[in-house]
Amino acid sequence: MMSLLAAGLLMQATAPQAKDADDEALWDAMQEDLQPQSVPPGYTFDFVQPLTRGDEDIRRHVERRIEMRFNRKPGAPGKPPLEVGWEGYQYYVFSTAAAAAKFALTEPEAVENLKNLYGKEEDMERFDPRAWRTTFAVEVRAANGTLLKLRCIPADTLIGCLAWTDKAPAVIHLMLQEPSLRIAHSDAERQAIVETRIRAEATGLLAAAQAHLAWALAKAKWVAR
């Protein structure tokens, strides 16, 4: 019969292994392609890819980064085809929900990340570093009824917003292009454009990200910690 001491040591030894297995199961699920029925209207799914963590990611305790790319459909109402690049979102994945809740991108980090929306490196020269940029919060009612407060950083024609759902170990970084920002006449007009676009995506790309994350958590049988 196993002693209490031996049983305790066994539990201590197997707990990290179980946690690692849970993490791998979640990350594997999050990297699965979106099914056609899960792609928001007006888009086609392009691909999903894991991203290499940078030094800043490691310092902020980011465990993994995953990117979902979508292309606008020709003829989609209200969303003319983009000249270059894509739209979509990234997941910043953590080992705990508490770490995810604390996460925030600085403006320089967010802008460098957003420039990837142009796709090819040579197309990143389209970005105007002197163009309007700011940081503000936008509240939206998500498709599942949850009220979310997104931290948004628009820069030139690009928009990035961080969204975190209670108890989830991942932060969604919504990444959009909005060419009309460059021709707006005032900062107030630009902010209104951003807010309108984000609220529209509450039932679009943001809803797709939330649904995919919820599916991955359920598939991996993730237990909040």
Give 152-171 pLDDT, tens digit per residue: 999 999 999 999 988 889 99
Which of 210, 200, 208, 199 shows the shortest CA–CA distance to 79?
200
| Residue 13 is assigned to a structural domain of this protein | no
Give the pLDDT confidence score for residue 33 in this predicted structure: 81
pTM, 2 dp? 0.87
Task: Give the residue-averaged pLDDT of 98-114.
Answer: 90
- DSSP element (H, E) containing 217: helix 205-219
| Residue 175 is assigned to a structural domain of this protein | yes
Give the pLDDT confidence score for residue 10 in this predicted structure: 43
Q: What is the pLDDT of residues 11-70, one digit of tens each?
A: 444 444 455 667 888 888 888 888 888 899 899 999 999 999 888 888 888 999 999 999
| Residue 224 is assigned to a structural domain of this protein | no
Residues sharing a CB contact under 8 Å with residue 41, sequence separation 6 or more, in sequence order: 76, 204
Cα-to-chain-centroid distance, residue 59 = 19
Give the pLDDT confidence score for residue 9 in this predicted structure: 40
pLDDT at 118 over 70: yes
Which of 111, 206, 113, 219 shows the shortest CA–CA distance to 165?
206
Give the pLDDT confidence score for residue 128 in this predicted structure: 92
Determine if residue 156 is left, alpha or beta; phi over 0 gives left, psi from -120 to 50 gives alpha, anything else beta.
left
Tokens of 32: 């699965």
Which of 118, 107, 220, 201 shows the shortest CA–CA distance to 163?
201
- DSSP element (H, E) containing 176: strand 170-177
Query: How many Å apart are CA 17 and CA 185, to the nearest integer?
Result: 56
- DSSP element (H, E) containing 163: strand 158-164
pLDDT at 86 over 60: yes
DSSP-derived secondary structure letter, 133: B
By residue range, what is the domain housing residue 78? 19-219
CA distances from 76 to 10, 126, 154, 192 (A): 57, 24, 23, 22
The backbone torsions φ and ψ at residue 28, rounded to the nearest 5 degrees and listed phi first, read -60, -45
- How confident is the prediction for the chain on average, in pLDDT? 86
* Domain count along the chain: 1
Give the pLDDT confidence score for residue 157 in this predicted structure: 94
Tokens of 118: 């142009």
Give the pLDDT confidence score for residue 6 in this predicted structure: 47
pLDDT at 205 over 60: yes
| Residue 94 is assigned to a structural domain of this protein | yes
Which of 89, 73, 108, 84 shows the shortest CA–CA distance to 201?
89
| Residue 193 is assigned to a structural domain of this protein | yes
Task: Give the residue-averaged pLDDT of 121-128.
Answer: 91
| Residue 14 is assigned to a structural domain of this protein | no
pLDDT at 194 over 90: yes
| Residue 164 is assigned to a structural domain of this protein | yes
| Residue 8 is assigned to a structural domain of this protein | no
Give the pLDDT confidence score for residue 193 in this predicted structure: 95
Which of 96, 173, 166, 85 shows the shortest CA–CA distance to 122?
85
